[in-house]
Structure 1
Amino acid sequence: MAEEKNYRASTGVDEFYYGKIGDGIVATEIERVKFLQNINVEMPQEIVRAHGDNTTAEMAVSSGNVSVTSQFHKIPIEDKQKLLGWETVEGLTAAGSEDNPEYQAVVFAKTYEDGSREYVGLPKGLFTRPNVGGATKGQTTEFSTEEIAAQFMDRKVDGFTKDKSVIFAADGPTETTNRDALFLKVFGIAHPDAGTPTEPEGA
């Protein structure tokens, strides 16, 4: 008998990790940015038609750029320096037209009420600098948020016959097998807590 499919919808996001890979496939290190609030991965495709004799002769799928927009409670300046190639001198950090960000790999998790998780891996991409904004404090306190965007490209991933730009994995409550495998594929190094089960939501 076929295994029952999972139709649960995710209710949160967590575990945003990035690692500099440059032109290789192994990250120099893995960094986490906490307090991820929203993330959107766009993977556009369109059908391209060739015509002849007043009809469709052939169809093909054309894939667009994979883009990611992430919203955080706050992105620490140390992470902006690494993601965007910003220069720091005497405690001051600066952005300019000649900034040279390096390729990054990213993994984040979608969380479910039963404690299971679905992981999304993005093997190779570049981040673009976020806008700077602020607002006056009114009668009630409101927290600001920070948003950062990136675009990703295909990259050789060990075990796959063709280059990939997005990889998915899922683990049940307290399981980490597929998470750990995804980290090795995307970053080339293990998850910081490899072999440690994740706690179910609300635990």
Structure 2
Amino acid sequence: MAKGKNYKAFTGLDEFYYQTEGSDINAVTDPERIKYLQEISVSKDQEIEKAYGDNQVAEMAVTNGTVEVEAGFHKLPLEDRTKLFGLEKSEDGIVAVGNDTPPYVAVMFAKTMEGGAREYVGLKKGLFTFPEDEGNTKEDSVEFGSSSATAEFMEDDIEGFDEPKTMLLGHDEKGSTKSRDAIWAAIFGEPKGDDTP
């Protein structure tokens, strides 16, 4: 077995943060947390293209697309939906859904392990789309609802890398925050403060 590698499986999710970017390049919000992340899937769109000759494969190349994120929460509060989907809010506090243009969003979350280690995932520039709105009537037993959101992330310039990147990954052992802090700064453009929830 190779030394230094961690083969422990992920058993949980935590620390889902997002930051929205306004139409004005300087109108960037502070990172905000959405609690009670239940599930998340991250998939990179890739295809292998083949060139043929002499009745065989002569060459192969990989085409890259966006990274898709599907996240499920215990509940996605209306305040967060308003920001993520670029919805308009009236003076009376009513949120309206129309043909709204969502803002660019940066996202970071942690996959946790039983021993306290964490793997962080950061995505710098993407768009969320408005999800289906579903509900069920209450029956004899209580069934909790959930909320979901889907986004696609594109490549963007990230300090420390020569070429644009879509996603950053980092691992911290229990008690360490080195990777977390580096990804936070790269994704959100500022150091993580001690007072950040």
Report the TM-score, using the length of structure 1 for normalisation. Answer: 0.89
Q: Which segments of 5 or more consecutive residues in structure 1 lack a partner in the other structure?
A: 197-203
Deviation by residue 1:12-49 (Cα, 9 ceiling, x = unmatched)? 00000001235869953101000000000011322111
* 1:5 has 2:9 as partner: no
Partner of 2:97: 95
Partner of 1:145: 146
Residues 149 and 37 of structure 1, relative CA distance in 2, 3 Å threshold? same
Report percent identity of matched pairs.
48
* TM-fit CA distance, 1:192: 4.2
* TM-fit CA distance, 1:53: 2.9
Residues 85 and 129 of structure 1, relative CA distance in 2, 3 Å threshold? same
Partner of 1:199: none
* 1:175 has 2:176 as partner: yes
* TM-fit CA distance, 1:62: 1.2
CA distance in 1, matches of 2:193, 2:83: 19
CA distance in 1, matches of 2:159, 2:127: 21
CA distance in 1, matches of 2:158, 2:78: 30
Deviation by residue 1:91-147 (Cα, 9 ceiling, x = unmatched)? 1101112x0111000000000000010000011000001111111111111110001
CA distance in 2, matches of 1:117, 1:138: 39
Partner of 1:188: 189
Partner of 2:113: 112
SS class of match (1:65): strand
- CA-based RMSD: 1.9
Q: 4+ residue stretches of structure 1 with deviation over 6 A?
A: none
Partner of 2:18: 18
* TM-fit CA distance, 1:83: 0.6
Deviation by residue 1:35-86 (Cα, 9 ceiling, x = unmatched)? 0000000113221111223222221111232100000000111111111110
* 1:123 has 2:124 as partner: yes
Matches within 5 A, 1:47-58: 47-58=48-59
Aligned AA for 2:97?
A
Residues 4 and 25 of structure 1, relative CA distance in 2, 3 Å threshold? farther
Report if the CA contact (8 A) 1:25-1:186 is conserved: no
SS class of match (1:43): strand
SS class of match (1:178): helix
SS class of match (1:49): strand
Q: Which segments of 5 or more consecutive residues in structure 2 lack a partner in the other structure?
A: none
Report the TM-score, using the length of structure 2 for normalisation. Answer: 0.92
* TM-fit CA distance, 1:3: 3.4
CA distance in 2, matches of 1:26, 1:189: 14
Q: Give the aligned length.
A: 193
Matches within 5 A, 1:14-53: 14-22=14-22, 27-53=28-54
Partner of 1:201: none
SS class of match (2:194): coil
SS class of match (2:79): helix
Report if the CA contact (8 A) 1:17-1:106 is conserved: yes
Between Structure 1 and Structure 2, the one with more strand by share is 2
